[in-house]
Amino acid sequence: MRTTLFFLLAASALAQTPRPGVNFNEAKVGNDPLPDLKLMSAADWPQKRRPEILKLFEDHVYGKTPSDVGTPKFEVTATKTDALGGLATRKFIHISLPNHPAWAGMDVMLYTPNAVKNAPCFVGFSFGGNHAVSTETDVPLSTRWMRESKDKNIVDHHATEATRGTESSRWPLEMILKRGFAVATAYYGDIEPDHADGWKEGLRAAVSKDGANTVWKDGEWGAIGAWSWGLSRIADYLQTDALIDGKHLAVIGHSRLGKTSLWAGAQDERFGIVISNDSGEGGAALMRRDFGETTAIITKSFPHWFTPNYKNYAGNAAACPVDMHMLIALAAPRPIYIASAAEDHWADQKGEFLSGKYASPVYALFGKKGVVVDEQPAIDTPVGDFIGYHIRTGKHDVTDYDWTQYLTFAARHWAK
């Protein structure tokens, strides 16, 4: 089985499009030692070590999320009780900050299964807006700034009618709802448009005393911090909705939003399950491994995602006081799932697995098993207990296969 995985990954790696200065050779990843988790008792970990690690990520990677931006306001703007052919109830909820009217707020789309009274809920952001997640034609079209995309029919940085349903394969609503789970999504650009100056039109400028003239300092939040803040505000609302089991919320994200879900889950323990789908560098992948995207690449391409001093570790990851096994460990003892894709070498699939493996000793403190295995499993062979992991056939994406594992994982843990 392990031999089969090796040859499949090796063959796929050879097919990887060459990028100057980017390593896809496992023999050249480096061997810098990981920062020590400094294990202690299960009683002491939540009170002592966990806060220390959380602060290190605030100071060196994502920045500190402000806690004094005011109380959010929730307004249910529409309800449809026979959505998706009667399978679900669909609501739209506008979340705003009355103390900061410069922020336009975000629009949450919530589907709850009509067959379940208090449904557990998956919470995550979409890349294309609510209208891209759902195939229902009465979902309002987002008017916010979006990344230009011919494939997704985004023209002049705005959605068009042709963008409807373009992310529906990543959000198999009927599959999720028929398993008894609810789904809450919003467009991540409602929080902050995803470009270098997007913050000037988003949440961060709106809540900063200097507005669009803010000069961000080391340790202050970047876009990932802002997006994760938004996920927690969705959780705030879900705690008030009688159709939702607010004690069973799973935060989920893909790619840069997988990084966001990990950081949201680290900060907000109301997310009882944390799911990272192909989150790669700056997410689940170990930053000390020189494979695929690196800290140097990501901080040059997307500096706005992180706190400013994260760029100091470009080409010098060994100097960073944290690595991503510590981010995974921040979820303990809650269940967490890490997923990779066989063709997604840019995200360093092995580095994603190793973060779960090296976080497992923290779960052992609580008498819980982590990924269980020592070696990365074969393709399409899920492993793990409280740290789930799989590498599936295919490329950087979210598929029905991924969702099947997440639904099974959630049902298993929430049934205990």
- Give, as one character, the DSSP assignment of residue 23: -
What is the four-CA torsion angle of 304, 307, 309, 311, rounded to 10 degrees? Answer: -40
Q: Give dist(CA 375, CA 377) in Å, integer.
A: 6
Q: d(Cα 271, Cα 277) in Å, to the nearest integer?
A: 16
Q: Which amino acid is at 390?
A: H
Contact 79, 90 (CB under 8 A): yes
Tokens of 167: 């992310």
Please tell me the number of Cα atoms within 13 Å of 310 on its side-chain side. Answer: 34
CB-CB contact of 180 with 113 (8 Å): yes
Indicate the length of the chain as a whole number.
Answer: 416
Cα 407 to Cα 232: distance, rounded to the nearest angstrom:
21
CB 112 within 8 A of CB 89: yes
Write the DSSP symbol of residue 220.
B
Q: Tell the residue number behind the tokens 């599959």, with chain if given.
A: 175
Taking the CA atoms of 52, 224, 405 and 285 in sequence, report the sign of the dihedral they define.
negative
Side-chain half-sphere of 306: how many Cα atoms within 13 Å? 25
Among residues 134, 142, 255, 355, which one is catalytic? 255
Secondary structure (3-state) at 79: strand
User: For helices 50-57 and 256-267, what crossing angle results, to 10°?
Assistant: 140
Element (H, E) at 361: helix 349-365
- Angle at the Cα of 95 (from 168 to 97), degrees rounded to 5? 145
Q: Is 255 an annotated catalytic residue?
A: yes
261 as an active site residue: the answer is no
Cβ–Cβ < 8 Å for 240, 91 = no
Any idea which residues carry the catalytic annotation? Answer: 255, 396
